[in-house]
Amino acid sequence: MTMKLFLLLVLLLLVSCRPFRNGLPGQCHTLGQSFTWLNRKYCLTPGDLRDVADGTRVFDGDPEPKFPRDPDATLEGVDSDKDGVRDDVEAYINELFKTYNQRMAWKNYARKTQDFLLNGGLDKMRNRDISFFCVQLVYGFTVGDPPFVHERSIKRFYFLSREREVRNESNVHTILMNNPGLSLHRDEDNQLKKRFAACPFEVQNQEELRKIINASPWLKGIKGSGRRERKGYGTPSTFEF
Protein backbone atom coordinates (compact mmCIF):
# COMPACT_ATOMS: atom_id res chain seq x y z
CA MET A 1 0.00 0.00 0.00
CA THR A 2 1.47 3.34 -1.01
CA MET A 3 1.74 6.17 1.47
CA LYS A 4 -0.71 8.29 -0.55
CA LEU A 5 -3.34 5.54 -0.48
CA PHE A 6 -2.80 5.01 3.24
CA LEU A 7 -3.26 8.73 3.97
CA LEU A 8 -6.40 8.80 1.82
CA LEU A 9 -7.92 5.90 3.79
CA VAL A 10 -7.10 7.65 7.07
CA LEU A 11 -8.74 10.84 5.83
CA LEU A 12 -11.89 8.95 4.79
CA LEU A 13 -12.06 7.35 8.23
CA LEU A 14 -11.77 10.70 9.97
CA VAL A 15 -14.53 12.33 7.93
CA SER A 16 -16.87 9.32 8.15
CA CYS A 17 -18.10 10.63 11.53
CA ARG A 18 -19.55 14.10 11.73
CA PRO A 19 -17.84 16.33 14.31
CA PHE A 20 -19.45 16.88 17.67
CA ARG A 21 -20.83 20.28 18.51
CA ASN A 22 -17.93 21.15 20.82
CA GLY A 23 -15.29 20.44 18.19
CA LEU A 24 -14.19 17.03 19.42
CA PRO A 25 -13.75 14.48 16.64
CA GLY A 26 -16.70 12.15 16.08
CA GLN A 27 -16.39 8.92 18.02
CA CYS A 28 -17.60 5.71 16.40
CA HIS A 29 -19.61 3.27 18.45
CA THR A 30 -20.74 -0.27 17.67
CA LEU A 31 -24.46 0.30 17.46
CA GLY A 32 -25.99 -3.01 16.46
CA GLN A 33 -28.47 -3.87 13.74
CA SER A 34 -30.20 -0.55 13.20
CA PHE A 35 -26.94 1.22 12.34
CA THR A 36 -25.44 -1.52 10.20
CA TRP A 37 -26.03 -1.47 6.45
CA LEU A 38 -24.11 -3.56 3.93
CA ASN A 39 -21.91 -4.70 6.83
CA ARG A 40 -20.71 -1.15 7.49
CA LYS A 41 -20.81 0.45 10.94
CA TYR A 42 -21.91 4.03 11.28
CA CYS A 43 -21.33 6.64 13.96
CA LEU A 44 -23.91 7.99 16.37
CA THR A 45 -23.30 11.67 17.10
CA PRO A 46 -25.35 14.50 18.60
CA GLY A 47 -25.95 15.63 15.03
CA ASP A 48 -27.52 12.27 14.16
CA LEU A 49 -29.70 12.37 17.27
CA ARG A 50 -30.83 15.92 16.58
CA ASP A 51 -32.20 14.69 13.26
CA VAL A 52 -34.35 11.93 14.80
CA ALA A 53 -35.22 13.18 18.30
CA ASP A 54 -37.66 15.81 17.11
CA GLY A 55 -40.09 15.64 20.02
CA THR A 56 -42.59 13.35 18.29
CA ARG A 57 -41.28 9.92 19.33
CA VAL A 58 -42.61 7.85 22.22
CA PHE A 59 -40.71 5.02 23.92
CA ASP A 60 -42.23 2.71 26.51
CA GLY A 61 -45.19 5.05 26.93
CA ASP A 62 -42.87 7.99 27.65
CA PRO A 63 -42.74 10.90 25.17
CA GLU A 64 -39.15 11.60 24.19
CA PRO A 65 -38.07 15.25 24.58
CA LYS A 66 -36.77 17.13 21.58
CA PHE A 67 -33.00 17.02 21.31
CA PRO A 68 -31.69 20.18 23.02
CA ARG A 69 -30.25 22.97 20.92
CA ASP A 70 -27.11 23.19 23.06
CA PRO A 71 -26.83 20.09 25.30
CA ASP A 72 -23.43 21.06 26.71
CA ALA A 73 -24.12 24.69 27.60
CA THR A 74 -24.28 23.93 31.33
CA LEU A 75 -22.94 21.29 33.67
CA GLU A 76 -26.36 19.80 34.37
CA GLY A 77 -27.50 19.95 30.73
CA VAL A 78 -31.15 19.96 29.70
CA ASP A 79 -33.76 17.71 31.33
CA SER A 80 -37.00 19.20 30.08
CA ASP A 81 -39.24 16.37 31.30
CA LYS A 82 -37.60 16.33 34.76
CA ASP A 83 -37.06 12.57 34.84
CA GLY A 84 -33.44 12.77 35.96
CA VAL A 85 -32.05 11.81 32.53
CA ARG A 86 -30.58 14.49 30.29
CA ASP A 87 -32.58 14.92 27.09
CA ASP A 88 -29.57 14.23 24.84
CA VAL A 89 -28.66 11.09 26.80
CA GLU A 90 -32.28 9.92 26.70
CA ALA A 91 -32.27 10.22 22.90
CA TYR A 92 -28.96 8.35 22.75
CA ILE A 93 -30.34 5.47 24.83
CA ASN A 94 -33.63 5.32 22.92
CA GLU A 95 -31.79 5.17 19.61
CA LEU A 96 -29.16 2.67 20.71
CA PHE A 97 -31.15 0.07 22.64
CA LYS A 98 -33.99 -1.92 21.14
CA THR A 99 -35.68 -3.56 24.15
CA TYR A 100 -37.70 -2.16 27.02
CA ASN A 101 -35.51 -3.79 29.67
CA GLN A 102 -32.30 -2.39 28.22
CA ARG A 103 -33.66 1.13 27.78
CA MET A 104 -35.04 1.23 31.32
CA ALA A 105 -31.85 -0.18 32.86
CA TRP A 106 -29.58 2.25 31.03
CA LYS A 107 -31.80 5.23 31.86
CA ASN A 108 -31.58 4.25 35.51
CA TYR A 109 -27.80 4.09 35.15
CA ALA A 110 -27.78 7.52 33.47
CA ARG A 111 -29.96 8.93 36.25
CA LYS A 112 -27.51 7.73 38.91
CA THR A 113 -24.58 9.05 36.87
CA GLN A 114 -26.20 12.49 36.74
CA ASP A 115 -26.88 12.42 40.48
CA PHE A 116 -23.24 11.62 41.24
CA LEU A 117 -21.97 14.21 38.76
CA LEU A 118 -23.99 17.03 40.30
CA ASN A 119 -23.81 16.06 43.97
CA GLY A 120 -20.79 13.82 44.46
CA GLY A 121 -20.42 11.71 47.59
CA LEU A 122 -19.69 8.08 48.35
CA ASP A 123 -23.36 7.05 48.55
CA LYS A 124 -24.07 8.58 45.13
CA MET A 125 -21.10 6.79 43.60
CA ARG A 126 -22.17 3.46 45.08
CA ASN A 127 -25.71 4.00 43.81
CA ARG A 128 -24.31 4.53 40.32
CA ASP A 129 -22.22 1.39 40.54
CA ILE A 130 -25.11 -0.65 41.96
CA SER A 131 -27.34 0.50 39.10
CA PHE A 132 -25.01 -1.36 36.74
CA PHE A 133 -26.04 -4.61 38.45
CA CYS A 134 -29.52 -4.07 36.99
CA VAL A 135 -27.93 -3.58 33.57
CA GLN A 136 -26.08 -6.89 33.88
CA LEU A 137 -29.28 -8.56 35.08
CA VAL A 138 -31.35 -7.59 32.02
CA TYR A 139 -28.55 -8.94 29.81
CA GLY A 140 -28.76 -12.26 31.69
CA PHE A 141 -25.25 -11.79 33.15
CA THR A 142 -23.83 -12.44 29.72
CA VAL A 143 -20.27 -13.68 29.73
CA GLY A 144 -18.75 -11.26 27.29
CA ASP A 145 -18.57 -7.58 26.56
CA PRO A 146 -22.03 -6.16 25.68
CA PRO A 147 -22.90 -4.44 29.01
CA PHE A 148 -19.35 -3.20 29.54
CA VAL A 149 -18.90 -2.04 25.94
CA HIS A 150 -22.15 -0.10 26.13
CA GLU A 151 -21.18 1.35 29.51
CA ARG A 152 -17.99 2.76 28.00
CA SER A 153 -19.97 4.04 25.01
CA ILE A 154 -22.51 5.83 27.20
CA LYS A 155 -19.78 7.32 29.39
CA ARG A 156 -17.97 8.69 26.33
CA PHE A 157 -21.18 10.32 25.17
CA TYR A 158 -22.12 11.47 28.68
CA PHE A 159 -18.81 13.20 29.31
CA LEU A 160 -18.31 14.87 25.92
CA SER A 161 -18.31 18.15 27.80
CA ARG A 162 -14.88 18.78 29.33
CA GLU A 163 -16.57 20.48 32.28
CA ARG A 164 -18.50 17.31 33.10
CA GLU A 165 -15.45 15.11 32.66
CA VAL A 166 -13.42 17.26 35.07
CA ARG A 167 -16.24 17.38 37.64
CA ASN A 168 -16.69 13.61 37.57
CA GLU A 169 -12.95 13.01 38.00
CA SER A 170 -12.85 15.55 40.84
CA ASN A 171 -15.75 13.84 42.63
CA VAL A 172 -14.06 10.45 42.38
CA HIS A 173 -10.70 11.88 43.50
CA THR A 174 -12.27 13.52 46.56
CA ILE A 175 -13.88 10.24 47.62
CA LEU A 176 -10.68 8.26 47.21
CA MET A 177 -8.65 10.84 49.14
CA ASN A 178 -11.14 10.85 52.01
CA ASN A 179 -11.53 7.06 52.11
CA PRO A 180 -8.09 5.38 51.96
CA GLY A 181 -8.30 1.71 51.04
CA LEU A 182 -11.88 2.06 49.76
CA SER A 183 -13.08 -0.85 47.67
CA LEU A 184 -15.10 0.18 44.63
CA HIS A 185 -16.38 -3.35 44.00
CA ARG A 186 -19.99 -3.33 42.86
CA ASP A 187 -22.20 -4.66 45.65
CA GLU A 188 -23.30 -7.84 43.87
CA ASP A 189 -23.94 -9.88 47.02
CA ASN A 190 -26.68 -7.67 48.45
CA GLN A 191 -28.13 -6.96 45.00
CA LEU A 192 -28.31 -10.65 44.17
CA LYS A 193 -30.60 -11.23 47.16
CA LYS A 194 -33.09 -8.78 45.65
CA ARG A 195 -33.24 -10.65 42.34
CA PHE A 196 -35.44 -8.69 39.90
CA ALA A 197 -36.30 -6.14 42.60
CA ALA A 198 -32.74 -4.84 42.15
CA CYS A 199 -34.15 -2.92 39.17
CA PRO A 200 -36.41 0.06 39.95
CA PHE A 201 -38.87 -0.97 37.22
CA GLU A 202 -40.90 -4.06 36.36
CA VAL A 203 -38.50 -6.26 34.43
CA GLN A 204 -40.11 -7.97 31.45
CA ASN A 205 -39.64 -11.61 30.45
CA GLN A 206 -38.60 -12.61 33.96
CA GLU A 207 -39.06 -16.35 33.51
CA GLU A 208 -36.93 -16.40 30.39
CA LEU A 209 -34.25 -14.29 32.08
CA ARG A 210 -34.32 -16.48 35.19
CA LYS A 211 -33.55 -19.57 33.10
CA ILE A 212 -30.71 -17.79 31.32
CA ILE A 213 -29.21 -16.49 34.57
CA ASN A 214 -29.44 -19.82 36.40
CA ALA A 215 -27.70 -21.53 33.48
CA SER A 216 -25.07 -18.82 33.10
CA PRO A 217 -21.38 -19.55 33.73
CA TRP A 218 -21.36 -16.40 35.90
CA LEU A 219 -23.80 -17.83 38.46
CA LYS A 220 -22.43 -21.36 38.20
CA GLY A 221 -18.98 -20.02 39.01
CA ILE A 222 -20.25 -18.22 42.08
CA LYS A 223 -22.21 -21.26 43.27
CA GLY A 224 -19.19 -23.49 42.81
CA SER A 225 -16.91 -21.16 44.75
CA GLY A 226 -18.80 -21.47 48.03
CA ARG A 227 -18.98 -17.67 48.32
CA ARG A 228 -22.77 -17.68 48.40
CA GLU A 229 -22.74 -20.21 51.25
CA ARG A 230 -20.54 -17.94 53.35
CA LYS A 231 -22.79 -14.97 52.58
CA GLY A 232 -25.91 -16.77 53.84
CA TYR A 233 -27.52 -17.65 50.53
CA GLY A 234 -27.69 -21.36 51.34
CA THR A 235 -25.45 -24.05 49.92
CA PRO A 236 -23.83 -23.30 46.56
CA SER A 237 -25.78 -26.13 44.94
CA THR A 238 -29.20 -24.87 46.04
CA PHE A 239 -29.07 -21.13 45.38
CA GLU A 240 -31.15 -20.16 42.36
CA PHE A 241 -31.86 -16.71 40.97
Task: Quote the number of domains for the chain.
Answer: 2
Same domain, 100 and 148: yes
Domain enclosing residue 129, as ranges: 17-204
Do the domain assignments include residue 8? no
Same domain, 79 and 196: yes
Same domain, 158 and 119: yes
Same domain, 174 and 223: no
Do the domain assignments include residue 151? yes
Same domain, 226 and 182: no
Do the domain assignments include residue 35? yes
Same domain, 124 and 182: yes
How much is the pLDDT for 24? Answer: 31
How much is the pLDDT for 32? Answer: 35
How much is the pLDDT for 62? Answer: 93
Do the domain assignments include residue 117? yes
Residues in the chain, how many? 241
Same domain, 147 and 233: no
Q: Confirm if 121 and 194 have CB atoms less than 8 A apart.
A: no
Do the domain assignments include residue 111? yes
Same domain, 194 and 220: no
Do the domain assignments include residue 51? yes
| Global pTM value | 0.76
Same domain, 106 and 128: yes
Same domain, 98 and 113: yes
For the chain, the DSSP string reads --HHHHHHHHHHHHHTSPPPTTSPPP------GGGEETTEE----HHHHHHH-SS--EETTEEPPPPPS-TTSSSS---TT-SSS-HHHHHHHHHH--SHHHHHHHHHHHHHHHHHHHH--HHHHHHHHHHHHHHHHHTTS-SSSHHHHHHHHHHHHHT-SHHHHHHHHHHHHHHHHHSTT------HHHHHHHGGGGSSS--SSHHHHHHHHHTSHHHHHHHHHTHHHHTTS--TTT---
List the pLDDT tens digit at each of the 241 positions of the chain.
566 555 555 444 443 443 333 333 334 444 333 333 333 334 566 777 888 899 999 999 999 999 999 988 999 999 999 999 999 999 999 988 889 999 999 999 999 999 999 999 999 988 998 899 899 899 988 766 678 888 888 888 888 888 999 999 999 999 988 888 776 666 666 777 788 998 999 999 999 999 988 887 777 665 555 454 445 544 445 567 7
Do the domain assignments include residue 11? no
Same domain, 98 and 32: yes
